[in-house]
Structure 1
Amino acid sequence: MSLQTVVEDIRDEARARAQEISDAADERAEEIIADAEADADQIREEREAEVERTIEQEREQRLSSAKLEAKQARLNARRDILEDVHGDVEDALAALEGDRREELTRALLDAAVDEFDDSDELSVYGRASDQSLLEDVLDDYDGATYAGERDCLGGVVVESNESRVRVNNTFDSILEDVWEDNLKAISDRLFEDQ
């Protein structure tokens, strides 16, 4: 074997070994690139999912906020309507006249007087414009006198001179009691379609 042949064999072996190393390096580089691309894809997918979650959360928050604002607006509108209805009822009570006003005033006075002893001297207060009506009605009651005016829509406030009892049977107080007791029913009736 000649030196030339040995050199050629060594070179061939070195080239083959270099090719193996190069092929292994290329293969490893491809694996690293594939892993990096896979990692990049996973990171991108995670980021996209995170962005989607954030977008969905913001959308849900905005939707919830809009629903809450709409509900609050509806409640405010309902409250305003109920206040208007209450005001209309007050106006209607204040505007009562004639026999109907006398009938209601007598009924409220009767109910108030029933709370006192027959021997009690009673002071009766009412709306200033009802003074004449009250004085006429009080002619039918022994021991009861018109004592002055009260700021009210009508009806009576009766006090005993002998005790510290006061009965408030004004249209205002009756309206408030009825209103409070029936507010849900009133609201349901007004807003039954909603």
Structure 2
Amino acid sequence: MGLEAVVGDIKEKGRKEVAAIQAETQAGVKRILEEAQEQAAEIKQKANEEAERDVQRIVNQEVSAANLAVRREMLNAEKDTLSRVHDDTLAAIAGLPAEIHAQALRTLLPEAAAAIKGGVVYCNARDIPTVKEILAENKDLTEFSIGAPIDIDGGAVVESADGRMKIDQSYRTFLETVWESGLKDASDILFP
């Protein structure tokens, strides 16, 4: 074998080795690219999932905040409505005919006299003539006098002679008692 044949063999062997190295390199590059694409896809999927969780969390927070704001507005509206009903009720009671007020005082004053044996009866200016009449008519009320008019819608406030005991029989006090005990029921009926 001549020198040319040996050189040809070496060249051929070199070309085969270069081709093998190139094929191996391309396979390695391809494998690295595929792994990189898989990692990129995983990273992208994780980022999408995290973004979706963040979006859902933000949406939930916004919905909760909106629901809370609506609930607060509803409660404020209900409170305003109940307050108007309370005030209208008191005004309607105060606006009842004089006979109704007189009958109420005829019932309330003896009840107060049972607890206080003598003292001063306070009422609004409208009811002073009625209270004077009741005090004059009822022998159980002879130890009572009438005081200066006070700012109440109706009923009376009875104070013992020594000032240590006071019985508030005003319409507002009765309404507050009924209002507090029936507020939940009224609210349930008005705002189901």
State the TM-score, normalizing by the size of structure 1: 0.92
Please tell me whether the aligned partners of residues 121 and 162 of structure 1 are also in contact (alpha carbons under 8 angstroms).
no
Instruction: Give 1:163 deviation, angstroms.
Output: 5.5
Cα deviation code 1:2-47 (max 9, x no counterpart): 2111111111111111111111110110111111111111111111
Instruction: Give 1:109 deviation, angstroms.
Output: 1.6
The 2-side partners of 1:69 and 1:163 are apart by: 50
Whether 1:138 and 2:135 are equivalent positions in the alignment is yes
Instruction: Give 1:111 deviation, angstroms.
Output: 2.1
* Structure 2 residue aligned with 1:121: 118
Whether 1:156 and 2:153 are equivalent positions in the alignment is no
Instruction: Give 1:129 deviation, angstroms.
Output: 1.6
Cα deviation code 1:113-139 (max 9, x no counterpart): 2212xxx33100011221111111111
Map 1:72-111 to 2 at 5 A: 72-111=72-111
Q: Secondary structure at the match of 2:148?
A: strand
Structure 1: stretches of 5+ with no match in the other structure: none
Structure 2: stretches of 5+ with no match in the other structure: none
Cα deviation code 1:74-129 (max 9, x no counterpart): 1111111101110111101211222211111222222222212xxx3310001122
* Structure 2 residue aligned with 1:65: 65
Q: Could you tell me which amino acid in structure 1 is paired with residue 184 of structure 2? A: K
The 2-side partners of 1:175 and 1:127 are apart by: 17
Q: Equivalent pairs: percent with the same residue? A: 31
Deviates more, 1:19-28 or 1:54-63: 54-63
Instruction: Give 1:189 deviation, angstroms.
Output: 1.8
Q: Secondary structure at the match of 2:120?
A: strand
The 1-side partners of 2:118 and 2:104 are apart by: 22
The 2-side partners of 1:168 and 1:98 are apart by: 20
User: What is the aligned length?
Assistant: 189
Instruction: Give 1:156 deviation, angstroms.
Output: 0.8
Whether 1:20 and 2:17 are equivalent positions in the alignment is no
Q: Could you tell me which amino acid in structure 2 is paired with residue 171 of structure 1? A: Y
Please tell me whether the aligned partners of residues 126 and 155 of structure 1 are also in contact (alpha carbons under 8 angstroms).
yes
Runs of 4+ in 1 over 2 A off after TM superposition: none
The 2-side partners of 1:19 and 1:111 are apart by: 119
Please tell me whether the aligned partners of residues 108 and 170 of structure 1 are also in contact (alpha carbons under 8 angstroms).
no
Q: Could you tell me which amino acid in structure 2 is paired with residue 129 of structure 1? A: R
Whether 1:36 and 2:36 are equivalent positions in the alignment is yes
Q: Secondary structure at the match of 1:149?
A: coil
